[in-house]
Amino acid sequence: MLEQRKEKGISQAPLLKAIGVSYAVVCYWETDRSVPTAPNLVKIADFFDVSVDYLLGRTDF
């Protein structure tokens, strides 16, 4: 997720707002201290316009 966010030049603020989680939660995800729940993975995928499989590294598309 961090890679997608940085590639698009997006700060954490729009992501937090779109997903409805706190700054701390996103920090945990981006530092591999926690993983998003399935519903949050779908929200993240929708935000970045990619598939959940892409976020999970199962596909390059």
pLDDT tier at 60 (50, 70, 90 boundaries)?
Answer: confident
pLDDT the model gives residue 2:
83
Distance CA(26)–CA(59), nearest Å, equals 23
- pLDDT of 46 > 80? The answer is yes
pLDDT the model gives residue 19:
94
Domains present along the chain, CATH in parentheses? 2-55 (1.10.260.40)
Task: Tell me what the pLDDT averaged over the chain comes to.
Answer: 93
Give the pLDDT mean for 30-47.
95
Tell me the C-alpha to C-alpha distance, in Å, between residue 53 and each of 19, 24, 28, 34, 40.
18, 24, 20, 18, 13
pLDDT the model gives residue 40:
96
Give the pLDDT mean for 25-45.
95
